[in-house]
Chain A
Amino acid sequence: MTLDLAAVGRQIAAVAGAVAARGAAEGDALRQASQVMAGIADHAALAAKVEGSRPAWRAALPREPLLLHRAPAALPAEWSVLASDGSTAEPDRHGIALCYLINVGLVMLRYGSQVAARLFSEPRLGYSDDDLYISAGQQQVLVSGPVLAILRQCLESERLADLAADTPEGLPTVALQDGTLMLGTLEGAGLEQWLQSTLLPRVLAQYDRLRAAGIPLAAYTSRPRHGEVTNALRLWACPERFPDCQHGCRYGDEAAPAGVQLCRALGHLPDRALFQSLLAPGERSALFRSQWAVSLHHYGQHRLHFFYLNAGPETARVEVPEWVASDPALLDLAQAAVVDQCERGRGYPTALLEAHEQAVLRGDDRRQFAVLLETALARAGLPAITSEKERGKQLRAL
């Protein structure tokens, strides 16, 4: 009993007020943003402005008319969907043995005359020095936190590509991942180097395998908070020809031009709000290219593109690599498959939901894992010694 509920309660009362105020401000910003968007007749002009500007935030580059809304194509009679998702147990330096666990959940669902399903998980334990530490420059960094999350993303892609390799040739198939195709970012020169020279090529090799198999890859984000399209509109609203905001806005707070005021008003508007009223159920928005620097400079043929999709109860974001974005047949298949999956899953893709269920490590799983570890050490005649801090936390003596 360390949480002072009375003190939290006082703060929670303020949350409701803040949510209401944010809702009103968002409604206002949305009206203005929609007007800006409707006024851009030539998406190529916006693309040119995005490309030429140096914004302080990521702005998306439109590849199609902004008000485009495309209904899903019909799915083939026979098709399948693959999905992967992952979950991790962090290495615990207070625990009995330094190791981490990555559990990848995998799903294959086949529809048509030969329905079939495979649901399974593949755990991967990292325990050797090579597993536990990465060389970042002169330093040895323990794999945990964001590094472990990136390793998990990598394993999810590898296993997904393995699953794709088992797919019957000629069967239209879509591969889904949860969230984003962007790898997390790591701070520190050594870690960035490791990410770009070691891990990114491993991940992109998996995308190559999917492309070679003709299986479009799509990453699905439920209730996305991204504002890259809104940010592009902010650039458009700016009176500068090619705004350079990386060193701060050159306009002061006093008497800023209307366009600059509009830019500031749209700062917290998520993209999904822009597309909520534009898209009918199942429809996708225009395609945008992400201007994320790592994607632009290192992803090659897999450069990130995305669109928004009316998934029924919500507007979702779907990311695809460039080779999917630029192939109408693959793009149509990916859109139709995601729409179908959301219908079957009542608002969230069934295959991703089941992949999550396969991957998730619940409290019970974590306890069982700890017991297995303890038993293995005992069998090897090794003492299971936790840190004094861990012992103290377990003992909770009075």
Chain B
Amino acid sequence: MEQTTPRRIGEVIEASTTEFVAESYELHDAPPLGALLRASDGSTDIYAVACHARTGSIDPGRRPIARGRDDENEDEVYRRHPELPQLLRTEFRALVVGFRDGDVLRRHLPPRPPRLHGFIYECSPAELVAFSVKFDCLSTLLSATPPIPADELVAAFLRLAGACRAAGARQDYLVAAGKELARALGNNPQRLTVLLARMQG
């Protein structure tokens, strides 16, 4: 069932003006690549796009090892080692793309970064539709240097933004987005072609 209300998924553990790192409340429960997230600086909602996730040991000195050779399925590993979820954690990184200024959505960097230990919500489809109506944040994403290729991130964001629109409006939206990208990447047709193909899913 498609989620309709914002879901609280984690907490900010590193914050800067341009990006933040958050820890997921549940192991392996990172937001999808390109998902629109909402954080806060205490008074202002801040929007960001999930650009990377990793799961690993809480303690940098301890490395996970293979444990499931004799198990029938992966869940059995966690049943046999109930301590593992407390020794591992999932973190995700997000690029800040905008904020709410009163009733107005701004699609540029906010005055302040989110607060440490601030809650992170995965935006509802309605919030994503509202935020992605304008394409101003695409230039932020295209010029950013996330841990993955920026084009992968832009394509993922637009796929999700398209998917949360009604079937009739989806194609129009992606075409409009494509035109916006063409304006931004007109001098690099090869890059544009690859990005447009990735946008289609």
Contacts and interface: CB of A to CB of B under 8 A. Distances in A.
Interface stretch (A60-68, A111-119, A245-253, A279-287): A111-119
B178 to A, nearest CB: 49
B179 interface: no
- A116, A117, A354: most-surrounded residue (chain B CB, <10 A): A117
Interface secondary structure of B, over-half rule:
helix
Contacts of A181: none
Contact of A115 (B59, B62, B79, B87): B79
B75 to A, nearest CB: 10
B83 A354 contact: yes
Interface in A348-385: 350, 354, 357
A344 interface: yes
B87 A350 contact: no
A156 B5 CA distance: 46
Contacts of A152: none
A107 interface: yes
A289 interface: no
A110 B87 CA distance: 16
Contacts of B83: 107, 109, 117, 119, 350, 354
Contacts of A350: 81, 83
A361 to B, nearest CB: 14
B82 A117 contact: yes
A110 B81 contact: no
Which of B59, B82, B87 gathers most chain A CB within 10 Å? B82
Contacts of B62: 357
Contacts, number: 26
Interface in B41-87: 59, 62, 78-83, 85-87
Interface residues of A, number: 12
Nearest to B84: A117
Contacts of B79: 111, 115
A111 B81 CA distance: 9
Contacts of A110: 82
Contacts of B59: 357
Nearest to A112: B79
A344 B80 contact: yes
A354 B87 CA distance: 9
Nearest to A113: B79
A350 to B, nearest CB: 7
Contacts of A115: 78-79, 82
B82 A109 contact: yes
Contacts of B80: 111, 344
Nearest to B81: A344
Nearest to B78: A115
A119 B81 contact: no
A169 to B, nearest CB: 20
Contact of B86 (A111, A117, A344): A117
Contacts of B87: 119, 354
Interface in A77-129: 107, 109-111, 115-117, 119
B159 to A, nearest CB: 37
A110 B80 CA distance: 10
B102 to A, nearest CB: 40
13 contacts: A107-B83, A109-B82, A109-B83, A111-B79, A115-B78, A115-B79, A116-B82, A117-B83, A344-B80, A350-B81, A354-B83, A354-B87, A357-B62
Interface of A: 107, 109-111, 115-117, 119, 344, 350, 354, 357
Given A107-B83, A115-B82, A119-B87, 10 more contacts: A109-B82, A115-B78, A115-B79, A116-B82, A119-B83, A119-B86, A350-B81, A354-B87, A357-B59, A357-B62
